[in-house]
């Protein structure tokens, strides 16, 4: 059985549920996942701090490249097992199964779906299994690893500069709790991409409830007293090449659209871009309000005649339609089947196909669902 879903599908409504954080978990410098929220909210969530005078001091975002503590690519995939562990712990604390959730996934997956109408050249493959009344959706990492990657040294340095920007623009604690030397030595700190703080939120579109987990870079100001409102205080940090001529604007708008989608999905309201020159020197920093990006891009005088101009409401209506389709097509309880959702840029088609017997078995025994998670859910069923 194979079903395809037309890319021009649009839902009538744009009813989106405001994302609300349920809890968070983190990965530490040794690559271990941490689930004690009280501890990690204090230890693993950085605070934005980049005063204007330090921007003026020509920070080198390439500095320290040879000391980069980089996680091996094959270990740096979205860890569904860790997400399921965190859900078990949350449900134990709540003493019940998580309510009103139809789909459980990572934010990166949803970003790819939401941006698809304006991102037709990038293929993807996801696996989906229905279990215990919910759909579990993960990336097919093997598909991504098959893609040819010919990153040259300069591209590696540019990637590094993104992590370096995170390191120089954040403090491990609020400013008032940091020592002078912690503040002064930000630019000397060894950069790593092991440490990650992951926010897990409940959201939804139309009738479909979604639980999504996504990486968050830092807090803008402070953690509000009502921690339910924390998402609005989070920041997405990004780096990009300085924009020097109009031709680069279209490209930057594409990136900004993706960043908007990524932030919008998880309820992040501020996006901070560090612009670097060809020598990776930080030239300027710009703060964008996520909500204002659609208007900003709509009104940008430079890009008015582009026939492929991004219309945000179109993307949201597409997202509503494709999520509803996935949710309706797949049985949430049938353990004899699993599915592959794939987008092929060659034929420009999005299709849903049942996987073979062996793949289904593997997905339900460690590749997607874990024994531990299934045992937990069986336990609370009775």
Residue 269: which of Ca ion, ligand 0WD, none does it interact with, CB under 5 to 8 A by kind? none
Residues whose CB falls within 8 Å of the CB of residue 367, separated by 6 or more in sequence, listed in order: 127
In whole angstroms, the minimum distance from the beta carbon of 8 to ligand 0WD comes to 25
In whole angstroms, the minimum distance from the beta carbon of 237 to Ca ion comes to 5
Q: Which residues bind ligand 0WD (CB under 6 A)?
A: 76-78, 106-108, 111, 144, 196, 214-215, 238, 262
Compute the distance between CA of residue 203 and CA of residue 101 in angstroms, rounded to an integer. Answer: 9
> Closer CB to ligand 0WD, residue 31 or residue 337?
31
Of 76, 139, 147, 142, which is closest to residue 111 (Cα–Cα)? 139
Residue closest to Ca ion (Cβ): 237
Residue closest to ligand 0WD (Cβ): 108
In whole angstroms, the minimum distance from the beta carbon of 134 to ligand 0WD comes to 18
Q: Which residues bind Ca ion (CB under 5 A)?
A: 217, 237
> Closer CB to Ca ion, residue 217 or residue 367?
217
> Closer CB to Ca ion, residue 123 or residue 172?
172
Per DSSP, the three-state class of 105 is strand
In whole angstroms, the minimum distance from the beta carbon of 21 to Ca ion comes to 18
Please list the residues that pair with 2 across neighbouring strands: 353
In whole angstroms, the minimum distance from the beta carbon of 141 to ligand 0WD comes to 7
Residue 21: which of ligand 0WD, Ca ion, none does it interact with, CB under 5 to 8 A by kind? none
Residue 262: which of Ca ion, ligand 0WD, none does it interact with, CB under 5 to 8 A by kind? ligand 0WD
> Closer CB to Ca ion, residue 44 or residue 237?
237
Of 206, 168, 198, which is closest to residue 82 (Cα–Cα)? 198
DSSP structure class, residue 97: P
Are 167 and 186 contacting, i.e. CB atoms less than 8 angstroms apart? yes
Residue 77: which of Ca ion, ligand 0WD, none does it interact with, CB under 5 to 8 A by kind? ligand 0WD
In whole angstroms, the minimum distance from the beta carbon of 215 to ligand 0WD comes to 4
Phi then psi for 334, rounded to 5 degrees? -80, 105
Of 151, 192, 157, 190, which is closest to residue 280 (Cα–Cα)? 157
> Closer CB to ligand 0WD, residue 24 or residue 360?
24
> Closer CB to Ca ion, residue 237 or residue 316?
237
38-59 burial, b if ≥16 CB within 10 A, otherwise e?
A: eebbeebbbbbbbeeebbeeeb
Residues whose CB falls within 8 Å of the CB of residue 1, separated by 6 or more in sequence, listed in order: 353, 354
Q: Residue 47: left if φ>0, alpha if ψ -120 to 50, beta else—which one?
A: beta
């Amino acid at each position: 059985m194979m079903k395809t879903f037309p890319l021009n599908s649009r839902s009538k409504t744009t009813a989106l549920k405001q994302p609300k954080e349920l809890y968070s978990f983190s990965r530490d410098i040794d690559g271990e996942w941490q689930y004690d929220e009280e501890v990690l909210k204090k230890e693993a969530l950085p605070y934005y701090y980049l005063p204007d005078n330090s921007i003026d001091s020509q920070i080198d975002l390439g500095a320290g490249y040879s000391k980069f503590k980089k996680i091996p690519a094959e270990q740096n995939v979205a860890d569904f097992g860790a997400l399921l562990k965190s859900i078990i712990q949350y449900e134990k604390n709540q003493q019940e199964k998580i309510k009103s959730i139809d789909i459980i996934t990572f934010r990166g997956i949803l970003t790819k779906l939401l941006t698809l109408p304006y991102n037709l050249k990038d293929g993807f493959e996801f696996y989906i299994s229905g279990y215990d009344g919910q759909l579990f959706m993960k990336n097919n990492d093997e598909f991504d690893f098959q893609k040819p990657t010919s990153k040259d040294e300069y591209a590696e340095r540019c990637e590094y500069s993104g992590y370096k920007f995170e390191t120089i623009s954040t403090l491990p604690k609020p400013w008032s709790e940091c020592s002078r030397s912690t503040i002064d030595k930000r630019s000397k700190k060894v950069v790593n991409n092991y440490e990650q703080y992951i926010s897990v939120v409940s959201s939804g579109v139309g009738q479909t409830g979604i639980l999504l987990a996504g990486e968050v870079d830092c807090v803008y100001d402070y953690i509000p007293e009502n921690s339910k409102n924390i998402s609005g205080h989070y920041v997405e940090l990004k780096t990009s090449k300085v924009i020097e001529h109009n031709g680069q604007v279209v490209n930057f708008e594409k990136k900004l659209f993706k960043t908007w989608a990524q932030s919008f999905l998880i309820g992040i309201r501020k996006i901070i871009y560090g612009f670097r020159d060809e020598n990776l020197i930080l030239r300027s920093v710009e703060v964008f309000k996520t909500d204002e990006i659609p208007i900003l891009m709509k009104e940008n005088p430079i890009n008015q005649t582009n026939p492929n101009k991004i219309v945000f409401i179109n993307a949201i209506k597409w997202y509503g339609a494709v999520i509803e389709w996935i949710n309706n097509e797949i049985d949430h309880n049938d353990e004899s089947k699993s599915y592959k959702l794939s987008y092929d840029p060659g034929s420009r088609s999005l299709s849903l196909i049942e996987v073979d017997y062996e793949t289904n078995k593997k997905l339900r025994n460690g590749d997607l669902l874990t024994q531990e998670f299934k045992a937990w859910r069986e336990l609370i069923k009775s």
